[in-house]
């Protein structure tokens, strides 16, 4: 059931917004008129892939009618009818579909390569992938989501975008705060909110709105903030953002924050309004924790270790193998990579083995090393992604993980590759899960093959007998 905006906006919502605008000496009319306008559409490119592929850049600009988003160098508006989410470039992780206003949050956070960063409420992954793009594979990002299905989607999006240096956790914020006090250089808190900025694109958000819902959201935000402030190190920065318009979840939250936690200062606070900016609207505030603030590490009092009796949380529920087993598995991978993937250079880090699954986590940041050295740090947490998934270990053989293909920024990093234009019928067939015929000059090739679109990897195949057998995971195959 659709609604007709703005006529069917809740009257209580309109009255609240009228009071809010009048308090600022502004008319409500232009804001309400924005609901009569079409919603905006945006995508944000993955810089590591976008910068390397001129053909894809040129094609995307022409196909999607791209126009720059003023507040985000990687952001572009696109034409609704172009549907970039259906294009093979989306499968390749060339870009992430994201509402333009929402790009402002990570832009203000300004994460740097080599830092330890937390995205506390990260699903479905728009801000997390933007943060990771800015980190350029250096340092470590922990992206958390409390809801299981949303955490799964978050992990899938991190994989599609080729993110190497990210751990995806599924945990209550306070459980994380017990484990990681005073750890992070920067924290993104895109708080769960009443979603008033979603009204133009989601009629369900209109139906769910009520003054009581706003109050409940504000209470929840204050609760999550208690966890966030504990995890930020002295001298660190934090961005709080929402996609809602009322003061209760925005300016009033920040006022409460500064009153309750005097060790914080407000650096910058801004709103993107749909009647003033080309976007659905967003609230963003940047706060900084005093470098002289008390360190919260001692306050943990071993709370994390008290939970260490529960089993670890890989996808299969298996605990991590020992360092020697992981090192042996990584040597097997390194031997495979020298032959099949000589152009991919991993950042400094360490291998982790969960059952038959080999992962790799960058550990250049001292805080990241400390986390990985602490056996209890992740014990009992549900982990949906642990750095880069390198390989599946089978009896007497190794199969490269799909994530490893997506971590490649160009097809020429592989010794054997199949590369075709996006409109080649074999690309559509591959994305459906079908075997494909190689190019004529590679008809006799055998072995693991990196399948790519205009140089952008999209998955693995295995060449044999004049065909490339499809190794795209079944859950990622296109229907039809």
* SS3 letters across the chain: CCCCCCCCCCHHHHHHHHHHHHHCCCCCHHHHHHHHCCCCCEEEECHHHHCCCHHHHHHHHHHHCCEECCCCCCEEECCHHHCHHHCHHHHCCCEEECCHHHHHHHHHHCCCCCCEEEECCCCCCHHHHHHHHHHCCCCEEEEECCCHHHHHHHHHHHHHCCCCCEEEEECCHHHHHHHCCCCEEEEEEECCCCCHHHCCCCHHHHHHCCHHHHHHHHHHHHHHHHHHHHHEEEEEEEEEEECCCCCCCCHHHHHHHHHHCCCEEEEEEEEECCCCCCCCCEEEEEEEECCCCCCCHHHHCCHHHHCCCCCCECCCCCCECCHHHHHHHHHHHHHHHHHHCCCCCCCCEEEEEECCEEEEEECCCHHHHHHHHCCCCCCCCEEEEECEEEEEEECCEEEECHHHHHHCCCHHHCCCEEEECCCCHHHHHHHCCCCECCCHHHCCCCEEEEEEECCEEEEEEEEECCEEEECCCHHHCCCC
Is 172 annotated as ligand-binding? yes
4 pLDDT exceeds 90?
A: no
Tell me the mean pLDDT in the region 288-300. 80
CA distance 185 to 187: 7
Is residue 155 a contact partner of residue 223, using CB atoms and an 8 Å limit?
no
pLDDT at position 313: 38
Of 132, 208, 146, give the one whose Cα is nearest residue 176.
146
pLDDT at position 303: 41
Task: Among 368-382, 401-415, 431-445, name the one with the lowest average pLDDT.
Answer: 368-382
pLDDT-derived band of residue 321, with 50, 70 and 90 as boundaries? confident
Mean pLDDT, the chain, whole residue set: 92
Residues listed for the chain:
480
pLDDT digits (tens, 9 = 90+) for 226-273: 999 999 999 999 999 999 999 999 999 999 999 999 999 999 999 999
> Percent of the chain, pLDDT > 70?
94
392 pLDDT exceeds 50?
A: yes
pLDDT-derived band of residue 364, with 50, 70 and 90 as boundaries? confident
311 pLDDT exceeds 80?
A: no
302 pLDDT exceeds 70?
A: no
Is residue 400 a contact partner of residue 448, using CB atoms and an 8 Å limit?
yes
Tell me the mean pLDDT in the region 74-91. 97
Is residue 284 a contact partner of residue 270, using CB atoms and an 8 Å limit?
yes
pLDDT at position 372: 85
Edge-first strand listing for the sheet containing 184-190: 264-272, 282-289, 232-242, 184-190, 116-119, 140-144, 166-170, 382-386
82 pLDDT exceeds 80?
A: yes
pLDDT at position 475: 92
What sign for the dihedral angle of Cα 88, 94, 96, 97? negative
CA distance 424 to 436: 11
Is 125 annotated as ligand-binding? yes
pLDDT-derived band of residue 146, with 50, 70 and 90 as boundaries? very high
* Half-sphere exposure for 30 (CA within 13 Å, toward CB): 9
64 pLDDT exceeds 70?
A: yes
CA distance 106 to 313: 28
- Cβ partners under 8 Å of residue 55, min gap 6: 454, 455
- Cβ partners under 8 Å of residue 36, min gap 6: 5, 6
Is 121 annotated as ligand-binding? yes
pLDDT-derived band of residue 437, with 50, 70 and 90 as boundaries? very high
Angle at 368 between CA 365 and CA 372, to 5 degrees: 140
CA distance 70 to 384: 34
Alpha-carbon distances of 44 from 55, 57, 67, 152, 245, rounded to whole Å:
17, 12, 11, 21, 23
pLDDT at position 317: 38
Q: Taking every pair of C-alpha atoms in the chain, what is the biggest distance, in angstroms?
A: 74
pLDDT-derived band of residue 298, with 50, 70 and 90 as boundaries? low
pLDDT at position 90: 97
Beta bridge partners of 456: 453
pLDDT at position 378: 84
CA distance 248 to 19: 13
308 pLDDT exceeds 50?
A: no
- Cβ partners under 8 Å of residue 362, min gap 6: 137, 138, 139, 140, 164, 165, 346, 347, 348, 349, 368, 387
211 pLDDT exceeds 50?
A: yes
- Both tokens of residue 36? 């009569």
Is residue 35 a contact partner of residue 8, using CB atoms and an 8 Å limit?
no
pLDDT at position 479: 62
Tell me the mean pLDDT in the region 283-305. 75
CA distance 171 to 444: 49
pLDDT-derived band of residue 373, with 50, 70 and 90 as boundaries? confident
> Percent of the chain, pLDDT > 90?
85
So which residues are the catalytic ones? 243
Comparing 373 with 194, the larger pLDDT belongs to: 194
59 pLDDT exceeds 70?
A: yes
Is 145 annotated as ligand-binding? yes
Is 339 annotated as ligand-binding? no
Is 124 annotated as ligand-binding? yes
Is 373 annotated as ligand-binding? no
pLDDT-derived band of residue 1, with 50, 70 and 90 as boundaries? very low
- Cβ partners under 8 Å of residue 174, min gap 6: 226, 227
């Amino acid at each position: 059931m659709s609604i007709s905006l703005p006529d069917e906006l809740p009257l209580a919502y309109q009255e609240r917004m009228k009071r809010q605008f009048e308090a600022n000496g502004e008319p409500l009319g232009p804001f309400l008129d924005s609901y009569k306008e079409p919603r905006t559409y945006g995508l944000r490119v993955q810089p590591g892939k976008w910068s390397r592929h001129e053909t894809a850049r040129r094609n995307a600009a022409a196909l999607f009618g791209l126009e720059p988003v003023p507040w985000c160098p990687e952001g572009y508006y696109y034409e609704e009818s172009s549907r970039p989410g259906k294009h093979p470039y989306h499968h390749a992780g060339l870009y992430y579909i994201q509402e333009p206003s929402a790009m402002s949050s990570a832009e203000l956070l300004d994460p740097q390569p080599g830092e330890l960063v937390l995205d506390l409420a990260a699903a479905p992954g728009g801000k997390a992938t933007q943060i990771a793009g800015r980190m350029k594979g250096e340092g470590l990002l922990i992206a958390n989501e409390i809801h299981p299905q949303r955490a799964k989607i978050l992990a899938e999006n991190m994989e599609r975008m080729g993110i190497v240096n990210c751990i995806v956790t599924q945990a209550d914020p306070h459980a994380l705060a017990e484990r990681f006090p005073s750890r992070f250089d920067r924290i993104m808190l895109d708080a769960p909110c009443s979603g008033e900025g979603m009204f133009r694109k989601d009629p369900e958000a209109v139906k769910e709105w009520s003054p009581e819902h706003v109050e409940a959201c504000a209470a929840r935000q204050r609760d999550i903030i208690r966890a966030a402030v504990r995890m930020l190190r002295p001298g660190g920065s934090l961005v709080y953002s929402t996609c809602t318009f009322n003061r209760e979840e925005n300016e009033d939250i920040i006022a409460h924050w500064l009153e309750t936690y005097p060790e914080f200062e407000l650096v910058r606070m801004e709103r993107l309004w749909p009647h003033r900016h080309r976007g659905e609207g967003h609230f963003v505030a940047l706060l900084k924790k005093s470098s002289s603030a008390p360190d919260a590490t001692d306050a943990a009092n071993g709370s994390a270790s008290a939970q260490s009796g529960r089993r670890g949380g890989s996808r299969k529920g298996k605990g991590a193998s020992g360092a020697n087993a992981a090192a042996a598995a990584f040597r097997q991978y390194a031997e495979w990579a020298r032959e099949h993937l000589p152009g991919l250079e991993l950042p400094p880090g360490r291998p982790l083995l969960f059952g038959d699954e080999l992962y790799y986590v960058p550990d250049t940041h001292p805080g990241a090393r400390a986390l990985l050295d602490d056996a209890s740090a992740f014990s009992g947490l549900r982990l949906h992604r642990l750095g880069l998934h390198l390989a599946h270990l089978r009896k007497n053989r190794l199969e490269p993980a799909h994530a490893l293909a997506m971590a490649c920024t160009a097809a020429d990093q592989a010794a054997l590759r199949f590369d075709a234009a996006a409109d080649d019928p074999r690309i559509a067939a591959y994305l459906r899960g079908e075997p494909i015929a190689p190019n004529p000059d590679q008809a006799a090739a055998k072995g693991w093959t990196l399948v790519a679109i205009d140089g952008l990897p999209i998955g693995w195949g295995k060449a044999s007998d004049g065909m490339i057998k499809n190794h795209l995971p079944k859950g990622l195959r296109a229907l039809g």
